[in-house]
Amino acid sequence: MDIRIFHKKDGGIIQLIDKEKMQDWPIELPLIFVEYIRSKKLDSYKDPQIKKEIEEYLNDITKDIAIPRMMSVLEGENEEEIILALIRIEELSNKNIEMVIPIKPYLENLINKKNKDIVSIAKNISNNFLKAERRKKLAQKRRVMREKEKEFLAGKINAEEYAKARKDYLTLKE
């Protein structure tokens, strides 16, 4: 069967592709699929039992299909296959870093390889992770700064506290 069906209490169904069909996918797609369902779709399923079943299914995909296939390619000896996989992963990391989070632990080994192309692409992906982390920190500081600004304008904090918060924000921004 090509589809895994989950039956909801209200009579509806949720269909996800079967694990066996994923064997034919490029190596990075099962991990991306799992991360997409977890981050974008799982919360939209209201039934806790369905959420649990889907989460278990996603864990099975990760454990049985995604990680073993990824490991076999990234730790393999075929440098062309590694480069092709990394190029696709890099493209995805440029578009949406959240989709390639499961690949992050394997980058360190790739950065230490002898092939310059592999090292270069792995470093680019790693840099994309660093940039995303910095953007998150900056967004957090921006939220804090807005709150401090509102408090300052309302007279709840003094100028020194506001200046300190502003300095922290500007330091991170640079």
Q: Residue 16 forms beta bridges with which residues? A: 4
pLDDT of residue 26: 84
- The whole-number average pLDDT for the span 51-66 is 89
pLDDT of residue 173: 64
Percent of the chain exceeding pLDDT 90 equals: 14
Using one digit for the tens of pLDDT, what is the confidence trace for 82-108? 898 889 889 888 888 887 787 888 888
Say whether pLDDT at 127 is over 80. yes
In the chain, domain spans: 3-132
DSSP letters, 6-50, are EE-TTS-EEEEE-HHHHTTS-TTHHHHHHHHIIIIIGGG---HHH
- The whole-number average pLDDT for the span 137-156 is 88
Using one digit for the tens of pLDDT, what is the confidence trace for 162-173? 888 888 778 766
Q: At what angle do helices 29-36 and 67-74 cross, to 10 degrees?
A: 140
pLDDT of residue 102: 76
pTM equals 0.68
